[in-house]
Amino acid sequence: MALPSSTPGGRTPYNRDARRNNDPFAAIRRNHRIKSPQIRVISPEGRQMGVMDTAKAIALALQFNLDLVEVAPNATPPVCRIMDFGKYVYEEQKKHAHSKPAAGKIKEIEFTVRIEKGDFLTKVRHAEEFLDNGNKVKLRLKFRGREMAHTEMGFEVMKKALTELETMGHPDSDPKLNGKQINVMLSPLPVNKRKPKFHVREAGTPPVEAPVED
């Protein structure tokens, strides 16, 4: 593996000091904060290095003045990449400074009363992704024909969806029946409290903090 040579004078890894909870990058585990005893390692160039002991991978990263960063914590085993985390944070902050208006948009996810389990989980995963990008998510369930005679079934579906998404967002109010549909709006949790169950974050892509409303 062609790792870059160490910088003259050395470089302190990004996570030597604790960062404030409102730091959107604070939730990303790196170096000695990585809990799993074994991980799958990706080189700085993006090549697979296989599964190895976490301690060995950390030592390898620090040997070259780089950081070991957990990029897919929900994978088995978790996936980590060797990188200069401080440089990565700087570049991401510059990039997102120009794309902040995109965050905060309202995304819609539509359910049906008789939705199949696979479709339900797919929609929940999409909702997790939207919330992780700092967007509000409107959940909507449409009743068809005689289904209006059993609105409690629709509320059960919405309740189940809210339960699945409680580690990513919180409802602004209780689900409400409006005509032939049930609606509820979800706002994303703070970045450091989000724990996706189904959505796997892309390597090197941090969650986005929701914009502060006036």
> What is the rounded distance in angstroms from the CA atom of residue 2 to the CA atom of residue 47?
10
Question: What radius of gyration do the chain's Cα atoms show?
Answer: 21
CATH number of 101-193: 3.30.110.10
Residues 146-185 pLDDT 10s: 999 999 999 999 999 999 999 999 999 999 999 999 999 9
Mean pLDDT of the chain: 83
CB 48 within 8 A of CB 85: no
**89-126 confidence digits (pLDDT tens):** 888 777 766 554 445 589 999 999 999 999 999 999 99
pLDDT at 101: 47
* CA atoms of 55 and 7, how far apart (whole Å): 22
Q: What is the rounded distance in angstroms from the CA atom of residue 69 to the CA atom of residue 164? A: 27
Same fold, 14-97 and 101-193: no
Look at residues 87, 139, 83, 150 and name the one whose alpha carbon lies nearest to residue 114: 150
Instruction: Give residue 98's pLDDT.
Output: 56
List Cα–Cα distances, 14 to 22, 25, 83, in angstroms. 16, 11, 10
Please state the domain extents for the chain.
14-97, 101-193
CB 44 within 8 A of CB 37: no
Enter the tokens of residue 62. Answer: 């620090």
Cis omega (within 30 of 0) on the bond before 77?
A: yes
pLDDT at 199: 77
What is the arithmetic mean of pLDDT over 55-83?
92
Give rounded-to-5 percent helix, strand, coil for the chain.
35, 25, 45
CATH of domain 14-97: 3.10.20.80
d(CA 25, CA 7): 24
Dist. CA 172–CA 82, nearest whole Å: 39
